[in-house]
Structure 1
Amino acid sequence: METSEIRRRFLQYFEDRGHTVVPSAPLPSPDPNLLFNVAGMAQFVPYFVGQQTPPYSRATSVQKCVRTLDIDEVGKTTRHGTFFQMNGNFSFGDYFKEKAIEYAWDLVTRPQSDGGYGFDESVLYASVYYEDDEAIALWKRIAGLPDDRIVRLGMKDNFWSMGIPGPCGPCSEILIDRGPEFGADRDWEAGDRYLEFWNLVFMQNIRGEGGGKEGYPILGELPKKNIDTGLGLERVSYLLQGVDNMYEIDEIYPVIEKASELSGRKYGVEHVDDVRFRVVADHVRSALMLIGDGVTPGNEQGGYVLRRLLRRAIRSMRLLGYEDPSLVELLPVSLEQMKKSYPELQPDFGRISQVAYAEEDAFRRTLTAGTSIFDVAVKETKSEGGAQLAGAKAFQLHDTYGFPIDLTVEMAAEQGLQVDTEGFRTLMKEQRERAKADARAKKAGHADTSGYRELREKGVTEFTGYQELATDSQVRGLLKEGAIASAAEPGETVEVVLEKTPFYAESGGQIADEGLIVADGVKLKVLDVQKPVKGLIVHRVEVLEGVLQPGLDVHAEVDHEWRVSACQAHSGTHVVHAALRQVLGPNALQSGSYNKPGYLRLDFAWTSALDQATRSEIEEVANLAVRQDLPVSAQYMTLPEAREWGALALFGETYDEQVRVVEIGGPWSRELCGGTHVKHSSQVGALTVTGESSVGAGVRRIEAFVGMEALHYLGRERALVRLLSENLKARPEELPAKVADLAERLRVAEKELERVRAAQVLEAAAALAANPKDVFGVQYVGHRAPDGVNGGDLRKLALDVRGRMPADKPAVIAVLSVNDGKPGVVIALNDTAREWRLKAGDLVRVAAEKLGGRGGGKDDVAQGGGTDPAGADDALATVEHTIGQLVTG
């Protein structure tokens, strides 16, 4: 039975029994503590904990899930996977244990011809919480299970909670006995013999504080009892499809088959290869589903997980021996299987594939650059007599070039080295701690927020900056290093909380205002403004004059020119966003922004670079909107009202129920935004796009200047044009043709120079062939060509010399040159030399090692290179010495 059919039958069964079919929530989790949804109940949590009233009493779903904790274990065993699907049926105060057990047993054992799964009842068991006599009695009555097929387990195994005080309850599982080949009889915890595939949670209690899976107090019973069940779709698939594990089911195994075909290696022969095949199959499917739900590769959070999955899949294909781009071959195979359950993937595959293929292209370039750094590190380690690559070097490869640590370990092993993985992990931990500390320092000023919360309890800071730039206020409190302080003197930098303030706190991509806070004999320079806790605005200030104390009456005033330019930049960001969507279409949605006085940048979802004509069109649409003097207004409404009105809620932002909608020109631009803006679009002033670039697969960045900064930028451009005109003695409109002509003439000259240089190199062939060195009967030519000879010309020279050598004597030709600071070597052998069992590939590796690099090729011609020009002469001498050893040994 196909996985899609197992899924369909589950939903149909419960829909026929009064359950509302609820679509899967997207993979990215709205929970700030989670990257992705990891359980079938995820979208129903607000109903279970009483935060919201469910719109139905019964529901069923198949939830897409991604588990990230075990990525490194994927493939090593057949248990670990990243993407999985959880079938569930849910009751919110409706039916309870009896119906849940009845439904589960009926669907599992009902004949396939009657819409069920057709499991053999004789091999099924039930596990229960050891004190749940009610569930035991129900299993006996409904399923007819005898005592020896009902297993009592403790709180650790058969009691569920969310890990925090709140709803909890006993569990009951359906297990299948897979036979003695999978483990010992009655061994419930070890091996794969008794496999649990459906978990029924009877949510009936309330738990108290306590850590771990057991030992916390049960405080009482819930007023309404709920049901949450989870049937592992992949597990049921491999049980019904007669295969041993999830990697062999219909949704996954075709990718393994394709990877085997591409690599020429077989699955099921060697464990090391099997691990790589499973990594490829799991990660390709996971990436397909993540990109389908809007995740794009990046360096943070969910984007980093996706990038890691894609790169591990690509790396595994390379380790299987497939060097060409692989996702273009594998992703469509996964699509063919997954679209049976998720048909929306098919029309979106153009975007999905662009994102994935762009990431593979970027990683292939990364591998090229990082491999050079790796080669140097290996050479340094070996030259110092070391046997272990330093953790700092492994960290550099990871941090700068995106090398997964296991890739570095694999490459090092090929060079006979180990890696200081402990040192690597230490540096990774330090980096994470620095990042967390930086974030805390930026947003909260101190890790301990108790001081801020104490001041917040005195009331919300009133923000007056939408209406005015100057406000009379009072100092509510001040903090030093996050702690409440009683005073601050000149020269100190402290944090100040006012009763009300006109200073905008950094948020929504807009940086904080600058200005002054003054009182009698006191003067403060505002350096930064943040919201460390909700409702509290905190000013970081430098005390310039006087003694600052709580209770002081002050006058807070924002720098007028700063705010004007900041408003121009933020409104300009909205204008550019609307122009992007008008030119490129609604999919060009903003995914991040940053604006400061006179400057803006905007990240948006797009998979290819914008040509000059498109950039010009976006700039023109934006400036037309500025010229039209469109009204800019802000309104408050509920979040549902804003969405119904068509306001854009941007990726990565969180919103309260009551939101502020900024509108420019009516429906042309409507966005949820708390920033400061101009009153009319004409006040944005000149707007000029200065650049467009990639910031990750599927994400582009556009940058622009506005207002006076735009005019200054255009002035610099005009001065540059004037200078070029004077130097090239051409009018501005003639410059493109003039520059193009100069470039073409330069190209022709360089080509001719290259031809002359190649001819000079090849002129040496006759003299070299006439004067070989005899090395135990082998005619050896070791020649260092002039610097600047490229690999192609070296190869021509080696082959030319070989062609001039006597065919009846063994001949080895080694030619070497240093080009752009990097040495390259080519070795050619004639047929007689190969009959003497000499191989060009073996000799070039010896030479390349002296050059700090590597090489390879066929037995007759091989090529290599490195990073150490100082080893050039030594490389030729080593080849000669090696020939002697091979011939005489």
Structure 2
Amino acid sequence: MALHDEKHEWGAQRVRDTFLEYFKERGHTFVPSSSVVPLSDPTLLFTNAGMNQYKSIFLGTVDPASDFAQLKRAANTQKCIRAGGKHNDLDDVGKDSYHHTFFEMMGNWSFGDYFKKETIGYSWELLTKVYGIDPRRLYVTYFEGSDGLEPDLEAKELWRSVGVPEDHILPGDMKDNFWEMGDQGPCGPCSEIHYDLREAEDGNYRNASSLVNQDDPEVIEVWNNVFIQYNREPDKSLRPLPNKHVDTGMGFERLVSVLQKKKSNYDTDVFTPLFKRIQEITGAREYRGKFGDEDPDGIDTAYRVVADHTRLLTFAIADGGVPNNVGRGYVVRRVLRRGARYARKYFETDIGDFFSKIVPSLVDQMGDMFPEIRKKAADIKEILDEEEKSFAKSLDRGEVMFEKYAQKAKANGSNHLHGDDVWRLYDTYGFPVDLTKLMAEERSLTINDKEVEEAQEKAREASKGDKKATAALVKLDVHDLGALDGMDEVPKTDDSAKFGRDNIKATIKAIYHNKTFLKSTREVPEGEQFGVILDKTNFYAEQGGQEYDTGRLLVDGEAEISIENVQMYAGYVLHTGYLKYGELGVGSEIIAEYDELRRFPIRNNHTGTHVLNYGLKEVLGNEVDQKGSLVAPDKLRFDFSHKAAVTDAELAKVEQICTEYIRQNSEVFALDVPLATAREIRGVRAVFGETYPDPVRVVSVGVPVEDLVADVKNPGWEKVSVEFCGGTHVKHTGEIKELVILEESGIAKGIRRIIAVTGQDAYDVQRVASDFEEKLARLEKMQFCPEKEAEAKKTQLELNQLTISALTKNQFRDRFAKITKSILDEQKAFAKADNKRVLDAVTSYFKDNQEAKFLVQKVGWSGNVSKAISEAIKSVSGPKSALKEKSVYLFSAGEGKVAHGCYVSEHFKAQGADGPKWASSVTPVIGGKTGGKPGAPTAIGNGTVADKVDEGLEEARKFIENFEL
């Protein structure tokens, strides 16, 4: 029976459900897995442990208004990735039975609730009683003591008390049994549980204690209980925490292999459904579970790599880890390219849509536990296909070049692949260095990382050279065009291939530098920009508002020109850039390769512009005319005629129409049509005053252009986006994903401008808005306090700087205005209550002490108390006050400050006292200054020595008592 057909008593889903149910029954809150891409934590490449999302609780920085602030017990299964940065298992995946770039970490947590006794009891009961694991195969460890810390004998005794034999309880050092979050922060001893995979012989199990923590593949760690009880201080000392926490982590895949009695995680039903799907797609032989020399054709290794990488790619992309050339995005790209190369080499299958065919099986398998992968399945598949297709364009050629470099190394009697060659495989063909390393290993070749870094640095320096930074774009002027028209051997450029998506072969017809047409790049001074004209091109020259393509012209392994700009001059397409290496001349046949990863967001934005134009016309009427546009990779800009600002309600309607058009996944059609006929098409949009070629290219969204032309007056065409356009577009509107309007503004009288984003950029701004909305919701729930005011100021600054949907931003501004008003109302109410509190202290004293002629008293501190004292003094000294004949001195101290104020009645004034004199008696003690004109009855002041306020009171009392005498 094939591995994938096996049925298990402990299927993967049951294992996970049992764990979560066990802890739910014991009062633990189920907390869904946090994103595997910690977008709000730039210090972390990926979520790599279950505790990451609880970091704020451990550090004591948790928002008191958040749900986590009340959390005492939690359990979950956390998505984790270890494929870059400090934790990187990528190189080991496929080679052994237990390494994964994506895995689940099941865990239970206590935040200042239970501690060692309970968690040791839970873990032993769950493993031995619930899962039924033979305790004779389990070994536990405890911290043996080090770094001035005593051994954790409490944990040792607790393991003994649950029934673990003495020779199965083992001491461990700082490396294995003391867990730290980082160089500073919460930490503590930990206690691991290990499992011996070896079956009993004649009913007897071996004693495997000597193999624990020795990297023996048959004695594996399955669970770690961390007892967080210290804080590592900046000076490296350890300080006990006020609250003790528990943080545990158990590898889901390892536990499943234990319960299914498999020695390899890959032999379990965590992976076998994926192997089955891979076999269906590729027609490869079945998976046999072999490693190393026992897997001579490499197919079992390829199964493991592809299945593992599919999991990482699916979960990373679902959580916003989109492939690109930076940080975590580059890790995702590397993993995809590594997996695609395995698929091509070992399964001999085409790539371009390989991974996306496996994704549905993974969604079926894990979509209930992690609904985000089901929700995002279509986007995941589309992104994977886009990336694969881009890599497929250069994979064949890159492998040929690798072979040449390998042969060159062997011919030189070396087993060493030169760093320049390794870098060129990345720079030209997109081969990540670790992929080249893998290919080198297959050929028994080595790579020197330092050489590669030097080659990379050399290339970086060359690309940012002084000449490039300051060089003006090379352009053709009227004299150059006259010269070209006189060259029969240089025809106008055929650029029809720009609408396709493939590399093409073309011939160099002219090389242009410093007002001169040259025969060879050898004549161009090193590092200087020049232009190239081809007989035909697939590059898009900037026109019609759409930005130019970038890319390269090259002869594999011999020469390469980096193209950084493309412009059209009277039918000649000039590709401008720099020579990277080698030499090319007029007549050289090259491969023209535009940068697909720049082009595809431009396509999204261009079709998005058409859809937006249609939406504006539907909402604002036919008088809306396009006045200009910009289609760039990161945004689209659309200028149009309209007399007034577009209201929020109108913008919402425009976005809704655009969304409906995109969701329909309408096909986008294009056809050259005689200009006279094209102008007759009902509802066609064109830029007023623009000169169009004849025939003109008509782009229609949802209806074939042939149908439009066959019945040009059909009123139904009013409900179709139809435009004259020479730009590049998506094949179906669904590729656009989303269209979000970021800004609507006026740029001239009667001219409005909309800036919008599509695709992944639209998802990103939606995510930013969602994160900010949570912050706003927490602020709305906060009780009035000084912290709320400070948080509101910070939030307002952040809101002003947010790049999000214009509609959402306006909604947020409305909500924030209500928050601001509520804070002002709360401040007023608080101030009113505080004023009353201070005045009541005065009136109640004289009510109880009617004969008293003065009061010197300290009142409680508040942020408003200075104002409250001032108001109380005004009230007492007022012409209609019942207390006008009483003298009062009030003090309040807090936050290192002293607020004070006094009033001297006529009785004491007649004896020579006044407000400023009274206040001057205390300022030498409490510091600061007081205000009040000489002879005035009142004085108000602020002191700076809060801890001497009681001495100040005594001085004030002595002063007034002297006059009493």
Rg comparison, structure with higher value: 2
TM-score (norm 1): 0.50
